[in-house]
């Protein structure tokens, strides 16, 4: 009895293995319709580094590896207390410059009033001098006062310009520091997932220091290598299907977004040695990952890309449904 049980287990395992082998052999042997070709490769996605613009200490990191993030979401904060203090000083300087402009405006009003009065006095003195009503010295004094009023008004106008320029400089300084504080909040540039957390609170980073790496699941593709006889017939935008090993019975819709203009030897990781010895063209099949598979999608997954060379070709049943909106099978 002790011998029979192990033998039974081995027999079941061999039988299951043989059945699985026959299943995959039958599946691989399924001929593709005319006008459709296939190639294997690995899934890739755009990686985005979230980095600090200026040297600073990491104050907090708000996400972990694997977290899904949305565009504009705050992912980390840098310690910018010095910039915050400088911003307070700059705002105070802006208020002082605005007060100086108000004072200069009042001085200009006073100079305008003095100029008007001195001009009137000069005109009266000029008319009275002709009739002998006032001495010549009075006319000279009024002329001097009028010239002084003109100079005072010109100086007041120059002071107005100086204060306006001071306000512009102070406002620019305020805006520069506000931008620095905004940059201290590191935000997600796109929707995606956190791939790597590269820094922790308390670490001091230089300008450009990376805090996180994200992947953009809306920009996912499978890179495959197709022979030159096939690539020459392949059009950009051609319809494709991608089957990833993670869910081989769930075809993902795709489009051909890139075909290399130069042939190369197929990489060692693709196909057989005989295939690698042939020249081929690198092709990118841009994948639309349905929402229900976002949690499973990740760069590096191997898979197969099936591409239509003929737009009129019909997909075989196992590739016809894309599951973009709902599951193809219960």
0.75 exceeded by pTM:
no
First-to-last C-alpha distance (Å) of the chain? 43
Give the pLDDT band of residue 277 (cuts 50, 70, 90). very low
User: 107-152 pLDDT, tens per residue?
Assistant: 888 888 888 888 887 777 777 777 667 787 777 787 788 888 888 8
DSSP 232: T
pLDDT at site 2? 41
Q: What is the DSSP string of 252-264?
A: EEEEEEEE-SS-E
The dihedrals phi and psi of 43, each to the nearest 5 degrees, come to -70, 140
The dihedrals phi and psi of 73, each to the nearest 5 degrees, come to -70, 135
Question: Does residue 4 surpass a pLDDT of 80?
Answer: no
The two tokens of residue 169 are 């400089």
The dihedrals phi and psi of 272, each to the nearest 5 degrees, come to -95, 170
pLDDT at site 156? 86
pLDDT at site 269? 55
**Given its phi and psi angles, is residue 155 left (phi above 0), alpha (psi -120 to 50 degrees) or beta?**
alpha
Question: Does residue 199 surpass a pLDDT of 80?
Answer: yes
| Residue ranges of E strands in 163-270 | 185-187, 192-197, 204-205, 210-227, 239-244, 252-259, 264-265
User: When comparing pLDDT for 298 and 240, which is higher?
Assistant: 240
Percent of the chain with pLDDT over 70: 82
Give the pLDDT band of residue 328 (cuts 50, 70, 90). low
Matching residue, tokens 């063209």: 281
């Amino acid at each position: 009895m002790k011998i029979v049980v192990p033998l039974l287990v081995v027999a079941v395992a061999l039988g299951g293995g043989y059945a699985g082998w026959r299943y995959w052999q039958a599946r691989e042997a399924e001929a593709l319709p005319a006008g459709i070709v296939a190639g294997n490769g690995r899934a890739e996605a755009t990686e985005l580094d979230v980095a600090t613009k200026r040297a600073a200490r990491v104050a907090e990191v708000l996400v972990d590896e694997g977290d899904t993030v949305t565009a504009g979401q705050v992912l980390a904060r840098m310690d910018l207390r010095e910039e915050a203090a400088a911003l307070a000083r700059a705002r105070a300087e802006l208020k002082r410059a605005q007060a100086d402009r108000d004072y200069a405006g009042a001085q200009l009003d006073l100079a305008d009033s003095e100029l008007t009065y001195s001009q009137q006095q000069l005109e009266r003195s000029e008319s009275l001098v002709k009739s002998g009503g006032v001495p010549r010295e009075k006319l000279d004094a009024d002329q001097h006062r009028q010239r002084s009023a003109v100079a005072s008004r010109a100086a007041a106008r120059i002071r107005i310009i100086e204060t306006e320029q001071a306000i512009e400089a102070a406002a620019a300084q305020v805006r520069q520091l506000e931008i620095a504080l905004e940059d201290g909040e590191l935000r997600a540039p796109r929707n995606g997932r956190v791939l790597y957390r590269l820094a922790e609170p308390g670490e001091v980073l230089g300008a450009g220091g990376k805090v996180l790496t994200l992947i953009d699941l809306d920009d996912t593709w499978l890179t495959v290598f197709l022979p030159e006889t096939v690539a020459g017939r392949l059009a950009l935008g051609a319809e494709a299907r991608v089957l990833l090993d993670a869910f081989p019975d769930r075809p993902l819709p795709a489009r051909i977004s890139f075909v290399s203009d130069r042939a190369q030897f197929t990489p060692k990781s693709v196909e057989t040695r005989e295939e690698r010895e042939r020249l081929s063209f690198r092709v990118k099949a841009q994948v639309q990952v349905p929402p229900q598979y976002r949690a499973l999608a990740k760069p590096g997954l191997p898979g197969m890309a099936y591409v239509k060379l003929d737009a009129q070709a019909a997909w075989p049943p196992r590739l016809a449904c894309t599951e973009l909106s709902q599951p193809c099978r219960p």
